Amino acid sequence: MPPLDMPLNLPALARRSDEWSLVAQYLSLADLGRVQSVSSVFLDAVTPRMMERAALALIRQEEDPSVAAGDLRTLRCHPAAQPWADSGFHAAACLASLHHAGRLPVAGRAGERVQHPVESRVRMLDLATRALTRDGRVIVWGQDVQSLLVAKYVVRAGQIMPLTLPDGFRTAAAIPRINSSKHFLRPPPDCWLLMNADRELHYYHTDSRQLVRLPMARSTTPHTVDLSRSGRFVAIATSNTAGPGETRLQCYDRERDQVSLDARISDANLFQISVADDGRLFVGSYTRGYAFSRDGDVTLYSFAGGNHALFRLSPDERFLMRSCSCIGEGNCNDIVLQDLGNGRETRLPRDIPPRTGQSGAMRPESIAFSLLNRLVAIAYEDGALQIFDLRQGAAGSAPVMARGNLPVTGVSLQPHTSFDGFDRVCTVFRQRIGREVTLAMHTMDL
């Protein structure tokens, strides 16, 4: 059998275009970057089309296997990555945007601007903090300047539209203490948990207008609810159901039409609940968190934070977000992200003092994740903003890549932060202008 005619080294392989293209289709984006450092021959051998294929594969792996190239066409790119998008290589443009956003000096400052009010046609009155969203939309109370009617509106990145719900229904109680969002390439279904005048819980899908009563007992006591990302699982925590100091937890599987969990725990201070698409349930009080597996096994967590304690899933359910314990973990205002896939924990430290005149107001109030969960933004009670780079974390702690400040005007800010692409962070917040309190939007360009 004659010996195979194999090239002696990588540069020789790159010069054999037919064979190189067959090999390149199995290389990741990181692999293509490495071979370019081997020889200048690869600078031409690694084509934009190869980069696009590898970039799309990485995005599907990290974000959603169903992502298509067309989903990336409307993604806003970093200006330095625009040539990739103009050439039709939208996946490569996406990751190039991340690269350029991450080139800020560590703890550097980004460009900041404030738009106020958010919308001139509607007088923004207040944030409807009990309505929970995942994708960066903010639900607000507003008054039409012509009709003077007060209604709920949806605000995202400066755009506004009315929130239309079935007559006689309101959003069920969610978790207002620390809100969270993520920039999705394919947003989850637009589903809501609603209650009618009889306090019966319903599932509502805005696109199909489907409204379904859920087989949970009517809630006549304090409660909080959550819906999993796809809308399959519904969870509700109801306090004082069998006596003082007790909370009933129920998890309902809509796909199988059955209750997957019905438990009671001796903790009347539960105020946050989240449920994953695999049926796992997470509930938190002021000092303790409970993680329920699908089999009903419970793992306990202890932490600090009081009324601002955090113990819930991230919007895409990849991380368990929780407050630090202050014992061996760091500052009580730090947040820990626990990757539920590999168990890795990353601390997001509040490493700056309170702003002038805001002593003690250092608690996190909003957390936002970028595409691919590479960057995280946190807005704090005193108006401070910190952007963390999860790619560069060392010793379990993510570095701060940029900082900003919201204008403080003597009112509770109640910030709601979200990413627009990799290089823009938008925060809707309350602001006093004269005698009125209205809503403004702060934008950071990285």
The β-bridge relationship of strands 233-239 and 247-253 is: antiparallel
* Residue 83 located in a structural domain: yes
* Residue 4 located in a structural domain: no
> Among residues 85, 101, 117, which one ends one of the domains?
101
Q: Which residue segment(s) compose the domain that 356 sits in?
A: 108-445
- Judged against a pLDDT cut of 80, whether residue 24 lies above it is answered with no
- Give the Cα separation of 235 and 124 in Å (integer): 31
The confidence band for 366, taking pLDDT boundaries of 50, 70 and 90, is very high
- Verify that 87 and 16 share a domain, yes or no: yes
- Give the Cα separation of 167 and 346 in Å (integer): 44
Q: Read off the pLDDT of each residue in 288-314 and give the average, rounded to a whole number.
A: 87
> In which element (H, E) is residue 364 found?
strand 364-369
Distance of CA 40 to the CA centre of its chain: 40
* Residue 3 located in a structural domain: no
Q: Poorest-confidence range of 87-96, 353-362, 370-379, 430-439?
A: 353-362
* Residue 403 located in a structural domain: yes
- Verify that 96 and 218 share a domain, yes or no: no
Which tokens in the block code for residue 103? 């080139």
Burial label for 316, CB within 10 Å (0-12, 13-18, 19+), is middle
CATH number of the domain to which 271 belongs: 2.130.10.10
For residue 175, the one-letter residue type is: I
Q: When comparing pLDDT for 330 and 445, which is higher?
A: 445
- Verify that 51 and 126 share a domain, yes or no: no
- Verify that 50 and 133 share a domain, yes or no: no
* Residue 5 located in a structural domain: no
* Residue 433 located in a structural domain: yes
- Verify that 265 and 164 share a domain, yes or no: yes
- Verify that 97 and 113 share a domain, yes or no: no
Distances (CA, A) of 50 to 19, 29, 31, 39, 235: 14, 9, 11, 17, 44
Distance of CA 436 to the CA centre of its chain: 31
Q: Read off the pLDDT of each residue in 364-391 and give the average, rounded to a whole number.
A: 93
Q: What is the pTM of this model?
A: 0.87
User: What's the whole-number average pLDDT of the chain?
Assistant: 82
- Verify that 46 and 160 share a domain, yes or no: no
- Verify that 56 and 194 share a domain, yes or no: no
Q: Poorest-confidence range of 116-130, 282-296, 326-340?
A: 116-130
* Residue 51 located in a structural domain: yes
Sheet with 122-127, side-by-side order of all strands: 122-127, 138-144, 150-156, 159-162
The confidence band for 2, taking pLDDT boundaries of 50, 70 and 90, is very low
Angle ∠(297,298,304) on CA atoms, nearest 5:
170
> Among residues 68, 101, 134, which one ends one of the domains?
101
Distances (CA, A) of 106 to 78, 355, 369, 401, 446: 18, 20, 18, 4, 12
- Verify that 133 and 88 share a domain, yes or no: no
Domain count, the chain: 2
Q: Poorest-confidence range of 58-62, 143-147, 332-336, 430-434?
A: 143-147
- Verify that 375 and 414 share a domain, yes or no: yes
- Judged against a pLDDT cut of 50, whether residue 421 lies above it is answered with yes
Q: Using alpha carbons, select from 286, 165, 292, 287 the residue that is nearest to residue 226.
A: 292
The confidence band for 203, taking pLDDT boundaries of 50, 70 and 90, is very high
* Residue 2 located in a structural domain: no
- Verify that 14 and 124 share a domain, yes or no: no
For residue 264, the one-letter residue type is: R
- Judged against a pLDDT cut of 50, whether residue 1 lies above it is answered with no
* pLDDT, tens digit (0-9, with 9 covering 90-100), for 136-156: 888 887 877 777 777 788 887
* pLDDT, tens digit (0-9, with 9 covering 90-100), for 102-120: 776 544 456 788 877 666 6
* pLDDT, tens digit (0-9, with 9 covering 90-100), for 261-276: 998 888 888 888 999 9
- Verify that 81 and 162 share a domain, yes or no: no
> Among residues 76, 101, 126, which one ends one of the domains?
101
